[in-house]
Amino acid sequence: MHDRTQLTPHLTETDRIDRLRLIRSDNVGPRTFYSLLNHFGNARAALERLPDLARRGGAARSGRICSEEQARAEIAAAKRIGVTLVAPGEAAYPPRLATLEDAPPLLGVRVRAAPDVLIRPIIAIVGSRNASGAGLKFAGQLARELGEAGFVVISGLARGIDQAAHRATVESGTVAVLAGGHDRIYPPEHGDLLAALLDQGGAISEMPLGHVPRAHDFPRRNRLISGASLGVVVIEAAHRSGSLITARMAAEQGREVFAVPGSPLDPRAAGTNDLIKQGATLVTEASDVINAVGPIMERPVVLEAREGDDEPLDFDIDPGVRARIVTLLGPSPVSLDDLIRMSGLSPSIVRTVLLELELAGRLERHGGGLVSIV
């Protein structure tokens, strides 16, 4: 297993532009980006193969490939508002976020006076947008005490619990994770909060400038909130809420999950109480969080190879073999391991066919490594 920092050498301007072009091209998600980069050696070579791979996956026509002019324009526009595009392993990239299999290949980072805010120990606080007065008060109190203990608080800049956590830590350092581009703040009325927290904190987004957040962008954002942190504290979350999605992602990522108990009569506490039943650490004060993450902080963050990085792709595939894999796929999500077992084919062949289908816009990836046909 190789050291994953090798995947991010000191990037030249050309490398950064090529990588931005690749991740901004149609149907290229983070996992596919890393597979292509690992197989072809660099983003420029991968870009040249995109049309052919999409055709193999069954695309009637090739998807849009981001041009060099578009990439240069995005980098220039980002610089004008103080945003830098950084890759995993570079100094401003949150180190724990860089360990994710689907870490953003380029992350838009906006900081002012505190360039170290993204590499200090981070705790996430998330919860209901329609929070109770007691929930808002506790979120502010917990965030403030964590800030005083030296932690950076990260959240999603949403109404309710997120807002309370951010406002309580403006001076100690807080990070907002945006679902849209850095110039498309949601909700719009939190523009003043973002401006205030940038003095000692920061904001991150994997989305291009101008991207207006849509419903499916928020779960993607949530994996960044949990991924950058040591652990996630959930304060008030109804069943099937976005905060529970963040908690599930945190568990999948190997992060600590904390939950604040609430009244059984309040539906906003149903999700948090369930998390406690499922093994989340019960939190009533900041020391509950600090004591739990102490041992984790003593272990260094290691950037290892992503799953599949050492597994070569195999583009010499018989059409009948490709059809066998497509037949096994359906609208219900299935795991890669199940596809390998049911098809009787090698992992490299199955991974390659899935990559081709994704580039053709025919594959959807779900949490937990599951895939389905579109």
What kind and span of H or E run contains 134?
helix 133-148
Predicted local confidence at residue 60, as pLDDT = 85
Confidence tier at 5 by pLDDT (50, 70, 90) = very low
- Sorted by where each begins, the domain ranges of the chain are 4-81, 97-297, 319-373
CA distance 256 to 250: 7
Predicted local confidence at residue 143, as pLDDT = 98
Exposure string for 189-203, b = 16+ CB within 10 A, e = fewer: ebeebbebbbebbbb
- In the chain, % of residues over pLDDT 70: 95
- Give tens-digit pLDDT for 160-216: 999 999 999 999 999 999 999 999 999 999 999 999 999 999 999 999 999 999 999
Residues contacting residue 280 through CB under 8 Å, at least 6 positions apart: 234, 247, 257, 258, 259, 272
- Give tens-digit pLDDT for 308-366: 455 678 888 888 889 999 999 999 999 999 999 999 999 999 999 999 999 999 999 88
Contact 319, 149 (CB under 8 A): no
CA distance 163 to 235: 12
Predicted local confidence at residue 252, as pLDDT = 93
- Cβ atoms < 10 Å from Cβ of 249: 22
Greater pLDDT, 297 or 3 = 297
Provide the CATH topology of domain 97-297.
Rossmann fold (3.40.50)
Predicted local confidence at residue 306, as pLDDT = 53
Pairing of strands 256-260, 334-335: unpaired
- Cβ atoms < 10 Å from Cβ of 17: 22
Q: Which CATH number fits domain 319-373: 1.10.10.10, 3.30.365.10, 3.40.50.300, 1.10.3720.10?
A: 1.10.10.10
- Give tens-digit pLDDT for 144-165: 999 999 999 999 999 999 999 9
- Give tens-digit pLDDT for 65-113: 999 999 999 999 999 999 999 999 998 999 999 999 999 999 999 999 8
43-56 helix and 30-40 helix, angle to the nearest 10 degrees: 110
Q: Report the residue count for the chain.
A: 374
251, β-bridge pairs: none
- Give tens-digit pLDDT for 7-51: 555 789 999 999 999 999 999 999 999 999 999 999 999 999 999
